[in-house]
Amino acid sequence: MKAALDEIVKQRLSAGAAVPGFTCYGADTALAVVETAEHLRVPVILLVAPSTAGADNGPRLIRTLRSIADDAAVPVCVQLDHAKDEDVIRRGIDAGVDAVLADGSHLAPEHNAQFVHHVKEFAAAAGVVVEAELGSVPGAEDRSTDAAIDTSGKTDPDTVGEFLEASGAQLLACGVGNVHGRYRGKPDLDWPRLAAIRAQAGEVPLVLHGASGLPTSDLQVLAAAGVGKVNVNTELRTAMLAAIEHNILACRSAGEDMLSLTDLVAKAATGVTRDVLTTLAGE
Ligand SMILES: [Zn+2]
């Protein structure tokens, strides 16, 4: 069922859990993610990468995810992720997203706030929730490259209050040693910084991108630290690719040529989704 992103995140935070967003490059992934969330009776977010949304078929995929979300027995949000381009944001909203990450993290904080505020004006008119990112999260969202932990991009807690007031952002993604893609070396989240950001953010829930590769012990305590939304891309994508590769090789060596791609994707996506959902609930 359709849901407001900020509301479901706040509801889950009050229950001591975070809501995961899974990047969907096609309907197969979204179907598996939503079905798993229904089994566990928890809300979930379907993320659309800007490269996907900006492609010719982008609006068509968003409308497909919209239909899957509306049909679900649990609250499901469709969110356009990391959108820097106003045209892509407007196309995403026209196609039916519930939320957008208006990503001005590459800009100076005051210009970032202006960009988010501008997006919020037309997004709010369409009932669309706006997330912002302050500081930067290193690495590439769509590729599993190793990303060094770049401390220079960490969010400065002293800028958070002013940024939220100027931008009107309803959720805040922050950089606290998290990276997109695979972590080079051992992840080392800056918990004191996260606590300082939370103190400045007030009622605005925090978001952590780059959850793939974080140890279970970190994921389990994110909600207690004020992180109500977690983005998962690499873990889901690499699990599906590995399942396809493994099964193709197994089929070839057995001399068979029948392979159900739908089953493979569903099984791999379901396994990762179940693991992430139960871990974020502290289980
Ligand atoms: Zn991200």
- pLDDT one-digit tens code per residue, 123-177: 999 999 999 999 877 776 665 556 555 556 799 999 999 999 999 999 999 999 8
Give the least confident one: 107-116, 161-170, 246-255, 266-275: 246-255
Q: CA 217 to CA 88: how far, in whole Å?
A: 36
Q: What is the mean pLDDT of residues 253-281?
A: 82
Separation of CA 180 and ligand 1 centre (Å): 6
> How confident is the model at residue 191, as a pLDDT?
95
pLDDT for 260 = 77
Would you state the pLDDT for residue 185?
A: 79
What is the Cα–Cα distance from 196 to 170, expressed in whole angstroms?
18
- Output the pTM of the full model: 0.91
**Mean pLDDT confidence for 176-185:** 83
Separation between Cα atoms, residue 228 and residue 70, nearest integer Å:
22
Answer with the residue of higher pLDDT: 274 or 161.
161
Instruction: Report the sign of the C-alpha dihedral through residues 223, 4, 84, 50, in that order.
Output: positive
Q: Round to whole Å and give the CA distance between 190 and 246.
A: 37
Distance 51 CA to ligand 1 centre (A): 13
Find the 209 Cα to ligand 1 centroid distance in Å.
5
Query: Does 228 have pLDDT greater than 60?
Result: yes
How far apart, in Å, do the first and last CA atoms of the chain sit?
25
Mean pLDDT score, 268-276: 87
CA–centroid distance, residue 94 to ligand 1 (Å): 22
Catalytic: 94? Answer: no
* Residue 22 and residue 33 in contact, taking contact as beta carbons nearer than 8 Å: yes
Q: Which residues contact 209 (CB under 8 A, 6 or more apart)?
A: 133, 137, 141, 173, 178, 180, 231
Ligand 1 geometric centre to CA of 54 (Å): 16
Q: What is the per-residue pLDDT across 231-244, written as a single tens digit (0 to 9) for each?
A: 988 888 888 888 88
Which helix H or strand E contains 76, and what residues bound it?
strand 76-83
What's the pLDDT score for residue 75? 97
Check residues 259 and 207 and name the one with the higher pLDDT.
207
Q: What is the pLDDT of residue 265?
A: 81
Q: Looking at residue 170, what DSSP letter applies? A: S
Catalytic residue among 81, 98, 103, 142: 81
Q: What is the pLDDT of residue 276?
A: 87
Is 4 exposed, middle or buried (CB count within 10 Å of its CB: 0-12, 13-18, 19+)?
Answer: middle
